[in-house]
Amino acid sequence: MGLHESMGPLVLALTLSCFLSSVCLAQERSFFSGNLSDSETIVSSLRTFRFGFFSPVNSTSRYAGIWYNNIPIQTVIWVANKDKPINDSSGVISLSEDGNLVLADGQRRVLWSTNVTTQARANSTVAELLDTGNLVLKDDNSETTLWESFRHPTDSWLPNMVVGTNARASGENITITSWKSPSDPSPGSYTAALVLAAYPELFIMNKDDNNATVWRSGPWNGQMFNGLPDVEPGVIFLFRFTVNDDTNGSVTMSYANDSTLRYLYMDYRGSVIRRDWSEARRNWTVGLQVPASECDIYRRCGPFATCNPRKNPPCSCFKGFGPRSLVEWNNGNWSGGCTRRTPLQCERLNNNGSADGFTRLRRMKLPDFAIRSEASEPECLRTCLRTCSCIACAHGLGYGCMIWNGSLVDSQELPAGGMDLYIRLAHSEIKTPDRRPVIIASSLAGGILVVVACGLMARRLVMKRRARKKGRDAEQIFNRVEALAGGDKAKLKELPLFEFQVLAVATNNFSLRNKLGQGGFGPVYKGKLQEGQEIAVKRLSRASGQGLEELVNEVVVISKLQHRNLVKLLGCCIAGDERMLVYEFMPKKSLDYYLFNPVKAKLLAWETRFNIINGICRGLLYLHRDSRLRIIHRDLKASNILLDENLVPKISDFGLARIFPGNKGEANTRRVVGTYGYMSPEYAMGGLFSEKSDVFSLGVILLEIVSGRRNSNSTLLAYAWSIWKEGEITELVDPVIFEQVFEKEIKKCVHIALLCVQEAANDRPSVATMCSMLSSEIVDIPEPKQPAFITRNVVASEEAGSSGNSEPKASINNVTITDVSGR
């Protein structure tokens, strides 16, 4: 699907034969009224699209379809017999006696038909391919359109194509449906559809999960969808909406700078992606994509919570609400959402009209299940307060007054645009100190007042306390570092200490423009020292309970390590509450920046990915066996693999690493740290870590490198295992890197990865053995056993442990799990 590759030598031979054949020259028309065999095609009048037979990538089956004509990468945008392929070149498209367009195989079995009721006969209908990409069946006498492919789309949404529903008149529901795989155009798991309610929205749904919602666009206000992400300048979406009632409506899409070489399609994994043809690159480039972040996933944070992909963790409860299950929430499972701390005072409200009020959230993707209110916009908030069932409201931007009576789900903080959302709170919650302005209902004025909680006095007290702590903190940190370093002050002097002002100047006062990303313990900024050296500064978050411990640990561990595949620590800064680590700057960012981005992934060809795999293994081998220390990393993941200007990988982030005595093989901790999805089962469930727990993480990374997919909740492990058992490894491989010449090498990497993620630690190879396997020194590689599928609660197995005072904290993917204590 998407970039559906050409049919190879067969198409080339047929094309060459067309230059020598008067029959093929006749085919260059945009219409036909007779038969169309497998070797023939028609092309639109401006030669933009072509209709005929094709084979998808890695398939010999034949399908009738439409693809872009004058570009080297065959890109199919419509398929006729999508679930009934032809196994040879015997297919023929013809006009039947009743005037329909019919596709039959060599045995004259009808595999597809336009199947319309018409009074026309075969000699009076004609099929024409328009320059919009629309194949139409017309009555040649009356010029009436009897059928069109735009009303029966497959995985592609072209400009001026309709998506919508006409349930009342015909039961018609025009949706976009994914292919099953890049080599199989039969209907896949995902559909994109228009859903009509109080406010129309576009939805992506999973058919295999009872049409569960995957993503929603946010409500339509007559001009835009509230939650549709901004697109880059110069590419402006124009939507035309027609909504007759709650069962009939449609939406068409076009662009301000209209181009037929720009379209949306749904890939087989459920993402809707906009493709633009770049003549300069001679390739498709990716623009808009949804879902684009984990916050785009429907109900990612559960009810009464909001999601922000720029924060860590991304989910947070609304003001006045707390996690429904603190253990699950801190363990990175936010699906249960939040619950109200203080009940609304509806009965009291009805007596005197003033018990509850609102807190305002700005730039929000509005929650699902909005109800349209007849109240005017100035009266919207007061109307909500007078209605006990109303828990939130919004108004303006063409929406009128919107209210919510049930749970608030699928809201998101947007970087720009969005709307103000007013969430109703009990009066006591509104009075709780908060930096955000809040709105409350006044019983005396009968109106609405804006109250800003400044907190100036509290801030002064905090600043005084910080000043007193400044000297104590610095002394504490140096004593702790010296103790862990074995009292060797000389070694500590080798590590430069940076002045705070030097780093502030280098990073332009830690400006957002210099921010490289957000780690589990705080933001990372790009900087440039006065002498010109580029640096990366990790500014440990003051809110992180692990800030001091991480800094001390990383200074002790990484300052003693030197290896081509380990990031170099240049120094640190300790200034009052400020704790920072200074590294060499990695210009190519981190591995996950490329792997999970459809555009950036193309920059990592297989040869590059294989070199990265080898580099990571060499770096980890140094940590485990070759350095004078023996170190377990404990947080190995794609985001902790940095790339230099030559795409050489360097392992980073040693804040959670542990030094092992030379005679010790494993250790146990009641404080599990790491990242869910990369953690070995014995460590996640029992706190047992060793070299083999790092090997497990490395196996996950190998599968991510090969597939280009993130291991969310260990689903990648399950998928890779099922593909391995079926012997269809190419289904796992990222299509942008697959070439036949590399198939054997890629398969070997998958084989090694599956050995690394086996359930039992003793079954996994050492990193030294992995390096030998990769270099072909070991030819006879054992068969892997079933991998561990880590889907259980991280703390479940620790229930038997003694009660601890520390609060559990955990998360998934790019967020670090810390302090998973016994209960």
Per residue in 169-218, pLDDT (tens digit) is: 555 688 999 999 999 999 999 999 988 888 889 999 999 988 899 999 99
DSSP state string for 104-132? E-TT--EEEE-----S--GGGEEEEE-TT
Residue 156, C-beta contacts closer than 8 angstroms, at least 6 positions apart: 76, 77, 78, 176, 263, 264, 265, 266
- The number of beta carbons lying within 10 Å of the beta carbon of residue 444 is 7
For position 552, what pLDDT does the model report?
66
What whole-number distance in Å separates Cα of residue 221 and Cα of residue 226?
Answer: 8
For position 636, what pLDDT does the model report?
94
What is the amino acid identity at position 498? F
CATH number assigned to the domain covering 1-151 = 2.90.10.10
Cα separation values, 800 from 327, 589, 683, 792, 823, Å: 15, 42, 16, 16, 7
For position 27, what pLDDT does the model report?
41
- The number of beta carbons lying within 10 Å of the beta carbon of residue 239 is 16
Do β-strands 371-373 and 438-441 pair in parallel, antiparallel, or remain unpaired? unpaired
Q: Which two tokens stand for residue 355?
A: 């018990």
Most confidently predicted of 570-579, 717-726, 800-809: 717-726
For position 638, what pLDDT does the model report?
94
Residue with tokens 């969005």: 418
DSSP state string for 583-622? EE--TT-BHHHHHT-TTGGGGS-HHHHHHHHHHHHHHHHI
User: ∠ CA(774), CA(777), CA(782), 5° rounding?
Assistant: 70
Question: Poorest-confidence range of 216-230, 261-275, 349-363?
Answer: 349-363
What whole-number distance in Å separates Cα of residue 3 and Cα of residue 460?
Answer: 60
CATH number assigned to the domain covering 593-792 = 1.10.510.10
**Pair 112, 81: CB distance under 8 Å:** yes
**Pair 676, 812: CB distance under 8 Å:** yes
For position 793, what pLDDT does the model report?
33
DSSP state string for 40-94? --EE-TTS-EEEEEE--TT---BEEEEEESSSSS--EEEESSTTS-BSSS--EEE
Listed residue (137, 133, 414) closest to 264, CA to CA: 133
> CATH 3.30.200.20 occupies which residues in the chain?
465-584
> CATH 1.10.510.10 occupies which residues in the chain?
593-792
User: ∠ CA(21), CA(26), CA(31), 5° rounding?
Assistant: 150
CATH number assigned to the domain covering 342-453 = 3.50.4
* Mean residue pLDDT across the chain: 79
For position 212, what pLDDT does the model report?
92
Per-residue pLDDT of 773-798, as tens digits, reads 998 767 789 999 989 764 433 333 33
Cα separation values, 784 from 302, 701, 725, 763, 764, Å: 37, 17, 10, 9, 9
For position 499, what pLDDT does the model report?
87
- The number of beta carbons lying within 10 Å of the beta carbon of residue 799 is 9
**Which residues pair with residue 572 across a beta bridge?**
497, 581
Residue with more model confidence, 473 or 370 = 370
Per-residue pLDDT of 551-586, as tens digits, reads 666 676 776 678 899 998 888 887 777 788 899 999
The model carries a pTM of 0.54
Most confidently predicted of 149-163, 429-443, 645-659: 149-163
> CATH 2.90.10.10 occupies which residues in the chain?
1-151
**Pair 600, 528: CB distance under 8 Å:** no
Per-residue pLDDT of 667-709, as tens digits, reads 676 567 778 789 898 888 888 888 999 999 999 999 999 999 9
Domain 465-584 has CATH 3.30.200.20: yes
Question: Poorest-confidence range of 86-95, 266-275, 464-473, 784-793?
Answer: 464-473
Do β-strands 305-307 and 411-413 pair in parallel, antiparallel, or remain unpaired? parallel
Return the beta strands (E) in 143-220 as ranges: 144-148, 156-157, 162-166, 172-174, 176-181, 184-195, 201-206, 212-216
pLDDT band at 225 (very low <50, low <70, confident <90, very high): confident
What whole-number distance in Å separates Cα of residue 436 and Cα of residue 420?
Answer: 13
What is the amino acid identity at position 565? N
The phi, psi pair for 442, rounded to 5°, reads -105, 125
Task: Tell me the CA end-to-end span of the chain in Å, nearest whole number.
Answer: 49
Cα torsion 366, 370, 371, 372: sign: positive
Q: Which two tokens stand for residue 804?
A: 């601890």
The phi, psi pair for 224, rounded to 5°, reads -155, 165
- Asked whether the predicted pLDDT for residue 713 surpasses 60, the reply is yes
Listed residue (388, 350, 391) closest to 370, CA to CA: 391
* Residues marked as catalytic: 635
> CATH 3.50.4 occupies which residues in the chain?
342-453
For position 705, what pLDDT does the model report?
97
